[in-house]
Amino acid sequence: MTQYTVPRGTRDILPEETTLWQFVEQKAREVFALYNFREIRTPVFEHTELFLRGIGENTDIISKEMYTFQDRKGRNLTLRPEGTAAVVRAYLESNRRNQEPLSKLWYQGPMFRYERPQAGRYRQFHQIGCEVLGAGNAYQDTEVIAMAQHFFTALGLKDLEVHINSVGCKICRPVIKERLKSFLGDNLDNLCEDCRKRFETNPLRILDCKNPKCNDFFVGLPDISSVLCADCKSHFHDVQDYLNILQIKFKVNPRLVRGLDYYTKTVFEVISGQLGAQNAVCGGGRYDNLVQELGGPALPAVGFAFGLERVVLIMQNQNITVPDARPYILLAPLGENACGRAAVFAEALRHSGVPAEIDVSAKGLGAKLKSANKLGVAYVYILGDDELLEKCGQLKNMLTGAQEKVAFTDFAARLQKNYQQDRGEK
Ligand code: AMP
């Protein structure tokens, strides 16, 4: 028989892990709400043109990583490789600017990039991200960094570093590129193939090269910050001031540039020492030209996205556990006659908010208690023929081993009370 497997670069997230995912998603919802962000949901695929225009043709995403296809009517569509372009499209299409001068939006969902899979890098991966549209002030850059930091702290993650840089704007970026090119030009033959390509198409990205061979030639590289125009310089200065005011630790990393072309001024990453080569958990920055680039007004914006796979990986590496929602009680009918009765009890408990499981198998009591232990339930309610006659089951406390008779008429109310007490509810 054929054994089917998941496509390369994708993975199943199994129940043992989804608990962590749900915890991360819930924390994001809570923390983002504290900063007045509201959720937006956009389609998983968009017109290809949106990404070509938004992300930039000389980026890796556009040149080699998109999942593009034609639908039955010959439309060119692409599975979204990132969230920002789609959020901006939706923002413009829904005329949100007319309703609010400043939009603070967040999103979550799968993204698709045809990358070489490795630990922490997948072809289908999941991001949670946020975008602030309509704010050019340096405070806003800092606020999203603060929110990212707040969120990671709320998850209990340790040993993360915030790296920031400025990649300039339309005015100073060409000067930065020229400086880089004239510095690296003499050593072009010594650089890796990717860098040589980028030298022509996207020289800033050369800074991102992790190849140790290339790194030897980067020593003495001109410092981007010295080439920034006055506006970008003062913006970068203000962002650092705000970060200091909020006591957020950061490092200025002059080699930090991001893989997407739309960034202007501030870029930042949250880095973990526990992720190997793919050490960026979260990346973002300012993109003051994108809204206009996509047909809207000249509107400054800033945002970030983090990858859930990488966050969950760090949580596992740091042994961060979260409570797993398990049934509170196992109904253990012994014999066919008791099954119907137990089913009614199980359903009544569930309707009153108590998570209940039932074991209607033909197994004996010993085996049922064993599976109750495995499930981690607090109680087992045993119903055999005698109990049916007496209308009174045996309630076993799995923690103490104590067992007592509880009448059918009292059972549901008693369990509900115990459950609420155990959860610390009144
Ligand atoms: P980007 O959209 O490239 O700025 O990436 C933002 C974040 O998404 C990164 O810091 C990662 O956490 C995550 N990420 C990006 N690409 C992948 C991938 N191929 N697999 C898993 N996570 C990814």
Model pLDDT for residues 88-127, shown as the tens digit of each residue: 999 999 999 999 999 999 999 999 999 999 989 999 999 9
Q: Please say which residue of 251, 282, 317 terminates a domain.
A: 317
131 labelled binding-site residue: yes
Q: 163 and 96, same structural domain? A: yes
- Written as six digits, the tokens of 246 are 């909020």
Residues with CB under 6 A from ligand 1: 82, 113, 115, 120-122, 125, 127, 258-259, 280-283, 305-307, 309-310
Residue 153 confidence (pLDDT)? 96
Q: 123 and 28, same structural domain? A: yes
Is a pLDDT exceeding 80 seen at residue 320?
A: yes
DSSP strands (E only) in 251-338? 251-252, 264-272, 280-286, 301-307, 329-333
Residue 287 confidence (pLDDT)? 96
> Is residue 193 assigned to a domain?
no
Spell out the residues 6+ positions from residue 257 whose beta carbon is closer than 8 angstroms to its own. 165, 167, 204, 205, 207, 208, 263, 267
Question: Is 350 in contact with 416 (CB distance < 8 Å)?
Answer: no
What is the Cα 306 distance to its own chain's centre?
A: 5
Ligand 1 centroid–CA 305 distance in Å is 8
pTM: 0.92
What is the Cα 198 distance to its own chain's centre?
A: 29
Q: 389 and 260, same structural domain? A: no
Q: 342 and 286, same structural domain? A: no
> Is residue 301 assigned to a domain?
yes
Q: 147 and 90, same structural domain? A: yes
Q: Please say which residue of 297, 317, 337 terminates a domain.
A: 317
CA distance 112 to 263: 20
The residue that leads in pLDDT, 63 or 340, is 340
Number of domains in the chain: 2
Nearest to 153 by CA among 38, 25, 31: 31
> Is residue 148 assigned to a domain?
yes
- Written as six digits, the tokens of 5 are 């497997």
DSSP strands (E only) in 7-80? 38-39, 45-47, 67-70, 76-79
Is a pLDDT exceeding 90 seen at residue 275?
A: no
Is a pLDDT exceeding 90 seen at residue 353?
A: yes
Instruction: Please state the atom number of ligand 1 nearest to the C-alpha of residue 115.
Output: 19
> Is residue 389 assigned to a domain?
yes
CATH number for position 390: 3.40.50.800
Residue 426 confidence (pLDDT)? 52
Confidence of residue 247 (pLDDT cuts 50, 70, 90): very high
9 labelled binding-site residue: no
Ligand 1 centroid–CA 182 distance in Å is 31
Residue 1 exposed, middle or buried by CB count within 10 Å (0-12, 13-18, 19+): exposed
Owning domain of residue 405:
329-422
Q: 262 and 153, same structural domain? A: yes
CATH number for position 67: 3.30.930.10
Half-sphere exposure of 234 (CA within 13 A, CB side): 4
- Written as six digits, the tokens of 262 are 């739309």
> Is residue 215 assigned to a domain?
no
Over residues 16-31, mean pLDDT: 96
> Is residue 5 assigned to a domain?
no
Q: 275 and 389, same structural domain? A: no
Q: 295 and 156, same structural domain? A: yes
Amino acid sitting at position 287: Y
> Is residue 322 assigned to a domain?
no
DSSP strands (E only) in 9-102? 38-39, 45-47, 67-70, 76-79
> Is residue 208 assigned to a domain?
no
